[in-house]
Structure 1
Amino acid sequence: MTSPAPRPRPGGRSGRVRRAVHEACLALLEQRGNRDLTVPEIAARAGVHATSIYRRWGSVERIVVEALLERSEERLPVPDTGSLVEDLTRFAAEVIAYVHDPMAATLMRTLAATADDPSLERARREFWESRTVAAGVMVSRAVARGEVPADTDAARVLETLIAPIHFRLLLSHGPLDDALPARLAQAAVAAVDSAGAPLD
């Protein structure tokens, strides 16, 4: 399996600080979740001044979201099977496996609790864009193979594939069974009309 090129990360001291803070945050989350997590204890574990963290991130919630979103990118590689349906099936299976991870549950709770926080909007937007790029890789390959039209909307394919997983997880509490990824993949591909128009 291969993934799209990762988004550039800051280099030098800035990059080291970012990695240290993210690693400290994730380690603390794994130990005890995000209950009463504070900037000073993240700073102490990362070996960084708390004032530097406040200046760069502003809040614990933003650190948590950034660290968890970055981790989720690493946990969701892009399949390359030679078939769009099979690629989407495997990708959906990866998403289902990921959402059962306690860290993913922490991410979703944090995002839901801070839905109106403008300081987190950039992190959410960048994550969604990275997932759209991933879908674009799968769709571009399928276009080259002649499986779907050239103007197929990759973002809508991704929405059609992933939205039912989160609906079942968060609202209906329906089963996320082993057969679901294939059904979702087939539905996502079927939703691309013969003209390759966006999936309205």
Structure 2
Amino acid sequence: MNTPHPNAPLAIPTGNEKNAVRRRPGGRSTRVQVAVFEATIQLLAERGYEGLSIASIAERAGVHETSLYRRWKTKEQLILEAIDRRVAQEIPVPDTGVLRSDLVAVLQSLRLFLQSKEGQALFQTAVATLHVPELRALRQEHWRQRCAHLQILFDRAIARGELSPQVDCQFLLEMLSGIIYMRFFVINEPVDEMLPERAVNLILSGVKPG
């Protein structure tokens, strides 16, 4: 029986192989994806968007470059998917039973993430690529998906009678997260652990059901 060399590069399965992988969750395909995303985030923090390439990601992850191109047609698509995965990990959807504490938990996670080296690197990447046409639609889709991911917080609150069904939940999220981004990256003032609670209390006071 032939044993693959331990340093042999990994390849992402395609075609019929993908169907087999779907039946084995947590298998080789998942390990490869995790390695690729981790390499992408690391290199963004080290080199920034302009210094990043599919080739450098493949080398860091130990994956064939052609395998990456088969799955992600451009580095922009790969970057956005890697960022989306990391944000979902670092800012999970809480379920405290109360909208107020759910939103405070989301903002606390956002605050801690943006304080990290990786979080700051990802935000700086977003700013540096505002002029990149290939990323505009992808970024908008990323935000829509993130809002949809967090929509369950508001659905629960509406069901409990804490929130009016007429509230624009995406706009509410933009206001709350905007406070954190403003403090971090515009006026450069400290973002202490009490800020999320203060922001949530202020915003929710204006959207209580009548």
TM-score by length of 2: 0.74
Q: Which of structures 1 and 2 has the bigger CA Rg?
A: 2
Change in Cα spacing, 1:117 to 1:142, as seen in structure 2 (3 Å) is same
CA RMSD of aligned residues (A): 2.7
Selected match of 1:118 from 121, 129, 133: 133
Greater relative contact order structure (CA < 8 Å, 6+ sep): 1
- The answer to whether the Cα contact below 8 Å between 2:157 and 2:163 also exists between their aligned partners in 1 is yes
Aligned mates of 1:126, 1:163 — CA distance in 2: 18
- The answer to whether the Cα contact below 8 Å between 2:162 and 2:208 also exists between their aligned partners in 1 is no
1:182 maps to what in 2? 197
- The answer to whether the Cα contact below 8 Å between 1:24 and 1:42 also exists between their aligned partners in 2 is yes
2:89 maps to what in 1? 74
Aligned mates of 2:170, 2:186 — CA distance in 1: 22
TM-score by length of 1: 0.77
Residues paired across the two proteins, number: 183
1:107 maps to what in 2? 122
List runs of 5+ in structure 2 lacking aligned partners.
1-16, 23-28
1:97 maps to what in 2? 112
2:18 maps to what in 1? 12
Residues 20-39 of structure 1: matches in 2 within 5 Å? 20-29=35-44, 32-34=46-48, 36-39=51-54
Q: CA deviation at 1:154?
A: 1.1
Secondary structure of the corresponding residue to residue 78 of structure 1: coil
Aligned mates of 2:98, 2:34 — CA distance in 1: 36
List runs of 5+ in structure 1 lacking aligned partners.
1-10, 196-200
- The answer to whether the Cα contact below 8 Å between 1:68 and 1:103 also exists between their aligned partners in 2 is no
Q: CA deviation at 1:182?
A: 0.7
Change in Cα spacing, 1:36 to 1:148, as seen in structure 2 (3 Å) is closer
- The answer to whether the Cα contact below 8 Å between 1:66 and 1:123 also exists between their aligned partners in 2 is no
Aligned mates of 2:201, 2:160 — CA distance in 1: 17
Q: CA deviation at 1:83?
A: 1.2
**What amino acid is the match of 2:93?**
V
Selected match of 1:42 from 30, 37, 57: 57
